[in-house]
């Protein structure tokens, strides 16, 4: 055998390695693959980094979920992932969060019932607190609420306080009362979205179900917010778009959405014009539908 005849044989392993694109992807996203507890987390992480079903086809897979399954299977692990936390602490946290959601409405109603001279200030404080407490429901991809997100929450609280200052204490009571259905709607949406993600086999399949789920959640919350406005004696056309804007703000922040559009919507709501708040709420809803239809917005908690 001559050297010329031996060269192709020596090059063959390099060609086979080059023909394994998944291996290259595994090396590039090794940290994501090693910390994932199941293929769903890898799929969400890949999508967050811009890999779509069309991209997965270049790696010889029909969709991102299939690609994530191979990456998960090929990732070496020295030990089994830790067992899920016990249900007790999680139930206690959920109960504490629900109690915090009740607090602003109870405070505003108590001040209104007592006909206190400072009822307006209390209502403004309650409405602002309803934005911040008990924190955005959900979990960002980083697993925590960043300082920037907290600043946006404070801007939302300022929007609520400014609106109550302009339109009266009844609006503050309505917004504070809407915090409870808002908390329940956000929790239910997060749970249903993660359940749908677990049952999906493609990103498009998940998005097709997540979009109507979000619209239904927003519609359900809007109905509850209208009831809160009627109960508080506030003008429904005034309270409804503001309540929806603040609900979407908390929902988006809780699911790690980009902060720029949320901040812009809240800034628009501060403009002293009748159409400002409805326009801000409508714009934020249009932004939320595609953003929350992404698998990466719903990591396992």
User: Per-residue pLDDT for 115 more than 80?
Assistant: no
Q: Looking at the structure, do residues 78 and 93 belong to the same domain, yes or no?
A: no
Residue given tokens 């979000």 in the structure block: 214
Q: Residue 26 sits in which domain range?
A: 19-83
Contacts made by residues 43-48, CB under 8 angstroms, sequence distance 24+: 43/67, 43/68, 43/203, 43/295, 44/141, 44/197, 44/295, 44/296, 44/298, 44/299, 45/141, 45/296, 47/203, 47/294, 47/295, 47/296, 48/141, 48/294, 48/296
Q: Looking at the structure, do residues 241 and 135 belong to the same domain, yes or no?
A: yes
* Assigned domain for 76 exists: yes
Q: Looking at the structure, do residues 154 and 207 belong to the same domain, yes or no?
A: yes
* Assigned domain for 14 exists: no
Determine contact, residues 36/76, Cβ cutoff 8 Å. Answer: no
Average pLDDT over residues 20-28: 80
User: Per-residue pLDDT for 138 more than 60?
Assistant: no
Question: Of 1-5, 198-202, 268-272, which gets the smallest average pLDDT?
Answer: 1-5
- Structure tokens that stand for 277 in this block: 């708040």
* Assigned domain for 9 exists: no
User: Per-residue pLDDT for 6 more than 60?
Assistant: no
Question: What CA–CA distance (Å, rounded) separates 104 from 184?
Answer: 15
Question: What CA–CA distance (Å, rounded) separates 211 from 216?
Answer: 9
The pLDDT-based confidence of 235 (bands split at 50, 70, 90) is: very high
Q: Looking at the structure, do residues 274 and 198 belong to the same domain, yes or no?
A: yes
Q: Looking at the structure, do residues 58 and 200 belong to the same domain, yes or no?
A: no
| Residue where a domain terminates, one of 35, 64, 83 | 83
| Residue where a domain terminates, one of 31, 52, 83 | 83
The pLDDT-based confidence of 288 (bands split at 50, 70, 90) is: very high
* Assigned domain for 4 exists: no
Q: What are phi and psi of 90, to 5 degrees?
A: -65, -40
Could you say which DSSP state residue 201 is in? S
* Assigned domain for 44 exists: yes
Q: Looking at the structure, do residues 77 and 96 belong to the same domain, yes or no?
A: no
Question: What CA–CA distance (Å, rounded) separates 157 from 117?
Answer: 22
* Assigned domain for 8 exists: no
Which residues, in sequence order, are CB contacts of 217 under 8 Å at separation 6+? 185, 186, 188, 189
Q: Looking at the structure, do residues 55 and 131 belong to the same domain, yes or no?
A: no
Question: What CA–CA distance (Å, rounded) separates 197 from 166?
Answer: 43
Q: Looking at the structure, do residues 209 and 276 belong to the same domain, yes or no?
A: yes
| Residue where a domain terminates, one of 65, 83, 101 | 83
Number of domains in the chain: 2
Q: What percent of the chain has pLDDT over 90?
A: 39
Q: What are phi and psi of 98, to 5 degrees?
A: -65, -40
Q: Looking at the structure, do residues 118 and 252 belong to the same domain, yes or no?
A: yes
Determine contact, residues 203/295, Cβ cutoff 8 Å. Answer: yes
Q: Is the pTM above the cut of 0.85? A: no
Q: Looking at the structure, do residues 79 and 94 belong to the same domain, yes or no?
A: no
* Assigned domain for 7 exists: no
User: Per-residue pLDDT for 98 more than 90?
Assistant: no
């Amino acid at each position: 055998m001559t050297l010329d005849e031996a060269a192709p044989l020596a090059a063959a392993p390099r060609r086979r390695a080059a023909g394994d694109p998944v291996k290259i992807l595994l090396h590039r996203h090794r940290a994501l693959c090693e910390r994932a507890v199941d293929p769903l987390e890898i799929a969400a992480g890949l999508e967050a980094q811009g890999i779509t079903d069309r991209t997965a086809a270049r790696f010889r897979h029909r969709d991102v979920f299939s690609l994530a399954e191979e990456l998960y299977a090929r990732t070496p692990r020295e030990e089994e992932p830790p067992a899920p936390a016990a249900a007790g602490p999680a139930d206690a946290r959920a109960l504490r969060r629900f109690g915090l959601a009740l607090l602003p409405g109870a405070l505003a109603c108590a001040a209104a019932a007592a006909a206190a001279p400072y009822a307006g200030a209390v209502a403004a404080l309650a409405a602002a607190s309803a934005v911040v407490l008990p924190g955005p429901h959900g979990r960002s991809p980083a697993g925590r609420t960043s300082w920037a997100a907290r600043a946006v929450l404070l801007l939302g609280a300022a929007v609520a306080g400014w609106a109550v200052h302009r339109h009266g204490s009844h609006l503050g009571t309505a917004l504070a009362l809407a915090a409870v259905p808002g908390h329940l709607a956000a929790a239910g949406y997060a749970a249903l979205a993660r359940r749908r993600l677990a049952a999906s086999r493609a990103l498009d399949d998940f998005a097709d179900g997540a979009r109507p789920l979000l619209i239904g959640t927003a519609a359900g919350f809007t109905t509850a917010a209208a009831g809160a406005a009627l109960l508080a004696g506030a003008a429904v056309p005034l309270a409804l778009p503001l309540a929806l804007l603040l609900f979407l703000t908390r929902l988006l922040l809780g699911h790690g959405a980009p902060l720029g559009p949320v901040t812009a919507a809240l800034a628009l709501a501060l403009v002293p014009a009748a159409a400002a708040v409805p326009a801000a709420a409508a714009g934020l809803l249009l932004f939320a539908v595609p953003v929350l239809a992404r698998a990466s917005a719903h990591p396992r908690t």
